[in-house]
A and B are shown apart, each in its own frame.
Chain A
Amino acid sequence: MKPIRTFFHILVATLREIFDENAYQRFLLRTSSAPSVESYGKFVCERDAAMTKRPRCC
């Protein structure tokens, strides 16, 4: 069972990283803030700069 659990753990972690959920958690930790519309707004502002410069391949 352990390998299956590890697989799903990694899958969820990968999805959370791809979908920026981990990035938001790190932002909350870094800025010592709680999840809220305001903190997500600040996160999005910070994230926008990186997002717009991130190429997507053909």
Chain B
Amino acid sequence: MSRIGKILIWTLVAVLGALSLATVALHRGEAISAIWLVAAALCTYALGYRFYSKFIAAKVLTLDAMRATPAERLENGRDFIRTNKWVVFGHHFAAIAGPGPLVGPVLAAQFGYLPGTLWILVGAVFGGCVQDFVILLCSVRRDGKSLGQMARDEISKTAGIVAFVAVISIMVILLAVVALVVVNALKDSPWGTFTIGMTIPIALLMGIYLRFLRPGKVLEASIFGFILVMAAIFAGQWVSQTPTLAQVFTFSGPALAILIIVYGFAASAVPVWLLLAPRDYLSTFVKLGTIAILVIGIIAVRPTLQMPAVTRFINGTGPVFAGTLFPFAFITIACGAISGFHSLISSGTTPKLIARETQTRMVGYGAMAAESLVGIMAVIAACTLQPGTYYAVNSGAGMVGQTPQAAVATISNWGFPVTNEQMDAMAHRVGEKTLFFRTGGAPAFALGMAKIFSDSLGGSAMAIWYHFAIMFEALFILTVLDAGTRVGRFMLQDALGHIWKPLGRTSWYPSIVVTSALMVGGWGYFLWQGIRDPLGGINSLWPLFGICNQLLAAVALCVATTIIVKMGKARYIWVTLLPLSWLLAVTFTASWHKIFDPNPLIGFLAHARQLVSGPATADLGRKLFNDRLDVAVTGLLVLLVAVIVIESALQWITVISGRKQPVTKEAPFVATRYAEETA
């Protein structure tokens, strides 16, 4: 294409993007079509990828297509394998896209559709995509080293230890919060519980099929598993309509929490091929298919957004979670905008598969943009619901009133009319007894998704679609739970092995039991705390998770900035320093609020003071301990990250001022043997 043609096309993309963003941002008082959000997002990602990532690739990182990657130099047919760039892209996307970009934007929709949408777009283009891209390239140039190893090598030993503590903490909080989302989605829901329960024997069956009947035929087994899961969804309807069976599969929140804790421990101890691997395959299969269908469904149906652009709750009085727009919207949406967890993937499997350095741009920056689009889809799914329904589903009883009558009165008084009859009719349409107080984001997302899918088929089968969406989210989450508990167990074994060698032996059963119990006990404790919380648990746990995740992103950006400075590219330090500064402002402010805010719905200490001054209850001591534990976790993480930031800043100053010769730990340059291949 000619130069003028290219300029014309990109000008058109820019104009369309600006028009869509203006429509999204400036329309007030009338509903707009969701297609504007999709257009704004696609144009923003296209421009970000074409111009900003190209600038970073050329000027900051100076990608070199002639430099051999570890996949070429260390190729062993096992971990290090030169792989087609689209295949790596798919692999990387499948690993980074979890339930986070679905749940976070749904929760943040309490502020209206605009704040979340803008943060997802700006955060991804200037923060999340940049982090994933830079960390991926840094790891590729260091033989596929992990984030922790790079922090230790490039900043200091302390930074390596802090990265380790941050990763373990985020895992514990993450697993607790995702388990809480599942519990809240399945409590008192025999249909949902039956369907999710059935995924366990289905995964076991797949494991046996793969191991002994048709070895290695994973795609075939996944298709067969998917058909069984669909059958379980239909059977779930029958179970929920059969009184005796419905009773068997109806569980309260605490009962489900205990079941999930027991399951987490068991899943951590059984052989990988039997449960974890087949569930992972099944979940990935469902995930990729459902996301693709959701994108197509939204484009086909072009639903209207019912939620206002900005709601009154930006002042911090929101019923889904308490806290003002700044900083809480920015920690509530992590995955979709910027997520520290991605840096673990970008410095894990992916760098060992990259065939050409130049492909890190498409894989690192591009896959994150694709995940961000999933976040936009979640905003759309949540905001297509009537606001009254959205708040009734997503608010805890402690926030809107203990009974459905009280809840609808409170929500209607806020100017979001909703009635008991509407809620009952909606519950009936999706085959549930009630949809009140289903905090956690998953049920609201499932409702929105079911509405879009159902509308695309003329308004039929809403109940099946709702339970399909619940199954899809829960399957996602249980995979994160399985894999996260195992990864955490390995990290603990690795660390404890330095104290006492036998504990580091991954196949030694006492070590497996001890470290599994430590991991499950850690997230199980926070889960239990969330279940017993009258405000719904999400109010305290999701912000804590957001803070942990964004602090990990801050660690990753510290590493990235240090490497850029050491590469002699200090004039481009702003590329990573700006998102880092924003994240530090957000996380440190949010942490301050979570610890010291005088509002007991926000501040842990204020909540503890309120408990002390209130009537004495049997579990007062435990509740006080929980508040203080939350304070300690938040405070410790902030302190640790502050140490990394200071250590990094000292490095930058000494290098930029010329007091220290920069030494990076890059692997030496080796010319590629595949120079003739096109990048």
Do A57 and B216 have beta carbons less than 8 Å apart? no
CA distance A3 to B178 in the complex (A): 40
Do B219 and A43 have beta carbons less than 8 Å apart? no
Tell me whether B212 is interfacial, beta carbon within 8 Å: yes
Find B216's partner among A35, A48, A55, A58 (CB 8 Å cutoff).
Answer: A35
Binds A, one of B95-103, B110-118, B527-535: B95-103
Find B218's partner among A19, A37, A48, A57 (CB 8 Å cutoff).
Answer: A19
CA distance A18 to B483 in the complex (A): 16
Enumerate chain A residues within 8 angstroms of B506, measured Cβ to Cβ: 49
Do B96 and A18 have beta carbons less than 8 Å apart? no
Do B77 and A40 have beta carbons less than 8 Å apart? no
Q: What band does the interface of chain A fall in when counting residues whose beta carbon is under 8 Å from B?
A: 35 or more
Binds A, one of B32-40, B79-87, B295-303, B439-447: B79-87
Do B284 and A40 have beta carbons less than 8 Å apart? no
Do B487 and A58 have beta carbons less than 8 Å apart? no
Mark interface residues in B213-235 (1 if CB within 8 Å of A CB, else 0). Answer: 00111110010000000000000
Do A55 and B90 have beta carbons less than 8 Å apart? no
Closest to A29 in B: B77
Do A26 and B81 have beta carbons less than 8 Å apart? yes
Tell me whether B345 is interfacial, beta carbon within 8 Å: yes
Tell me whether B52 is interfacial, beta carbon within 8 Å: no
Do A57 and B487 have beta carbons less than 8 Å apart? no
Find B480's partner among A19, A37, A56 (CB 8 Å cutoff).
Answer: A56
CB within 8 Å for A44 and B341 given contacts A56-B479, A58-B174: no
Enumerate chain A residues within 8 angstroms of B91, measured Cβ to Cβ: 14, 17-18
CA distance A11 to B239 in the complex (A): 37
Do A39 and B215 have beta carbons less than 8 Å apart? yes
Do A30 and B211 have beta carbons less than 8 Å apart? no
Do B84 and A10 have beta carbons less than 8 Å apart? yes
Do A37 and B211 have beta carbons less than 8 Å apart? yes
Do B98 and A56 have beta carbons less than 8 Å apart? yes
Enumerate chain B residues within 8 angstroms of A17, measured Cβ to Cβ: 83, 87, 90-91
Tell me whether B272 is interfacial, beta carbon within 8 Å: yes
CA distance A48 to B486 in the complex (A): 11
CA distance A13 to B348 in the complex (A): 21
Find A53's partner among B87, B480, B487 (CB 8 Å cutoff).
Answer: B487
Q: In B341-359, which residues have CB < 8 Å from any A CB?
A: 341-342, 344-345, 348-349
Closest to A24 in B: B216
Do A51 and B348 have beta carbons less than 8 Å apart? no
Closest to A48 in B: B272
Enumerate chain A residues within 8 angstroms of B86, measured Cβ to Cβ: 10, 13-14
Enumerate chain A residues within 8 angstroms of B97, measured Cβ to Cβ: 57
CA distance A16 to B466 in the complex (A): 30
Q: In B452-488, which residues have CB < 8 Å from any A CB?
A: 479-480, 483-484, 486-487
Do A51 and B277 have beta carbons less than 8 Å apart? yes
Which of A19, A35, A55 has most B Cβ within 10 Å? Answer: A55
Do B87 and A57 have beta carbons less than 8 Å apart? no
Enumerate chain A residues within 8 angstroms of B479, measured Cβ to Cβ: 56
Do A44 and B211 have beta carbons less than 8 Å apart? yes
Closest to B276 in A: A51
Find B95's partner among A40, A50, A52, A54 (CB 8 Å cutoff).
Answer: A54
Tell me whether B313 is interfacial, beta carbon within 8 Å: no
Do B178 and A19 have beta carbons less than 8 Å apart? no
Enumerate chain A residues within 8 angstroms of B486, measured Cβ to Cβ: 52
Enumerate chain B residues within 8 angstroms of A15, measured Cβ to Cβ: 90, 219
Find B339's partner among A10, A14, A58 (CB 8 Å cutoff).
Answer: A58
Tell me whether B592 is interfacial, beta carbon within 8 Å: no
Find A52's partner among B77, B83, B339, B487 (CB 8 Å cutoff).
Answer: B487
CA distance A10 to B342 in the complex (A): 24
Do B78 and A16 have beta carbons less than 8 Å apart? no
Mark interface residues in B249-278 (1 if CB within 8 Å of A CB, else 0). Answer: 000000000000000000000011100110
Mark interface residues in A1-30 (1 if CB within 8 Å of B CB, else 0). Answer: 000000000100111111111001011011
CA distance A57 to B95 in the complex (A): 6
Enumerate chain B residues within 8 angstroms of A21, measured Cβ to Cβ: 216-219
A46 CB to closest chain B CB (Å) equals 7
Closest to B97 in A: A57
A43 CB to closest chain B CB (Å) equals 7
CA distance A55 to B211 in the complex (A): 23
Enumerate chain B residues within 8 angstroms of A13, measured Cβ to Cβ: 84, 86-87
Enumerate chain A residues within 8 angstroms of B348, measured Cβ to Cβ: 54-55
Enumerate chain B residues within 8 angstroms of A44, measured Cβ to Cβ: 211, 272-273, 277
Do B215 and A37 have beta carbons less than 8 Å apart? yes
Do B222 and A52 have beta carbons less than 8 Å apart? no
Do B342 and A18 have beta carbons less than 8 Å apart? no
Do A40 and B211 have beta carbons less than 8 Å apart? yes
Enumerate chain A residues within 8 angstroms of B211, measured Cβ to Cβ: 37, 40-41, 44
Instruction: Knowing that A13-B87, A19-B218, A52-B276 touch, tell me 7 more A-B residue pairs with CB under 8 angstroms.
Output: A14-B89, A16-B219, A35-B215, A48-B277, A57-B345, A58-B100, A58-B174
- 20 interchain pairs (CB within 8 A)? A18-B91, A18-B284, A19-B218, A19-B285, A24-B216, A27-B77, A35-B215, A41-B211, A47-B277, A49-B506, A50-B78, A52-B276, A52-B487, A53-B490, A55-B344, A55-B483, A57-B97, A58-B100, A58-B174, A58-B334
Residues of A within 8 A of B (CB): 10, 13-21, 24, 26-27, 29-30, 35-37, 39-41, 43-44, 46-58
